[in-house]
Amino acid sequence: MSTYRNSLTAPSDLDGWIAEGPVGVEHRDGGMVLSSTANEADLVAAGRGDHAHFTYWCPEVFAPDIAISWDFQPLKGEGLAMLFFAATGTGGRDLFDPRLAPRTGRYPQYHSGDVSTLHVSYLRRKWTTERRFRTCNLRKSPGFQLVAQGADPLPGPDDADGHYRMSVVKRGNDIAFAIDGLQLFSHHDPEPLGAGRIGFRQMSPLAAHYRDLEVKELP
């Protein structure tokens, strides 16, 4: 059994990480701050607002049965934070197979393109409807299938009290998601995905701090 650990504290910790979209990275306070480098207002005015968002991939390929955990703190801005996991190209191809369509951070490229993945959105504050009734969502792609949902207890940037420990466990057919040890949903997948990659996704204008990423292979 192997464990991947990354404190995310320095540029060298991100060697090999792959940015899709306008990823801005700053290292401070023992971790990394992710935010969009795009001017969202200009993109919205040009009808290209969804080009302000991004995905940042860890280069490792992880086993099918894993426990993923990381510290997360929202710092400023309404937006969305998400984790992709078990990500591959469709048809058994690698996620970075050159035969796949290019990806630039736009969400449809991930949920309805040639990417096979699960993704949990755990801070959903981009739109008024998301802020009115806050949930954490688990979706399976391709196809944008909502397969599980739970309450979102995370405070916004103004009320966040330090970091919160996020946890995704994927074992066999079962997936569970928790924050600070509180399980928020579980899902039994009749057609589970196998080995794959993980990636952080954010929607502008959120800026958030990440540290102490751990991915543990489960027996």
- With 90 as the cut, is the pLDDT of residue 118 above it? yes
Give the sign of the dihedral formed by CA 101, CA 103, CA 108, CA 112.
positive
Who has greater pLDDT, 50 or 193? 193
pLDDT score at 43: 63
| Cα–Cα nearest to 43, from 137, 130, 127, 106 | 106
- With 60 as the cut, is the pLDDT of residue 56 above it? yes
Helical ranges in 9-134 per DSSP H = 40-45, 108-111, 128-132
pLDDT score at 39: 81
Question: Do strands 18-20 and 54-57 pair parallel, antiparallel, or not at all (unpaired)?
Answer: antiparallel
Split at pLDDT 50, 70, 90, the class of 86 is very high
Q: And the tokens for 107?
A: 């969400």
Q: And the tokens for 154?
A: 């995370």
Average pLDDT over residues 81-110: 96
pLDDT score at 42: 67
CB 66 within 8 A of CB 216: yes
pLDDT, tens digit, 9 for 90 and up, residues 126-170: 888 888 999 999 999 999 999 999 999 999 999 999 999 999 999
Mean pLDDT taken over the chain = 94
Q: How many angstroms separate the CA atoms of 133 and 123, rounded?
A: 12
Domains of the chain: 3-217 (2.60.120.200)
Split at pLDDT 50, 70, 90, the class of 8 is very high
Average pLDDT over residues 6-18: 98
| Cα–Cα nearest to 68, from 218, 219, 191 | 218
Of 22-31, 39-48, 129-138, where does the model show the most confidence?
A: 22-31
Q: How many angstroms separate the CA atoms of 61 and 70, rounded?
A: 17
- 112 three-state secondary structure: coil
Burial zone of 159 (CB within 10 Å; 0-12 exposed, 13-18 middle, 19+ buried): exposed
| Cα–Cα nearest to 7, from 219, 214, 216 | 214
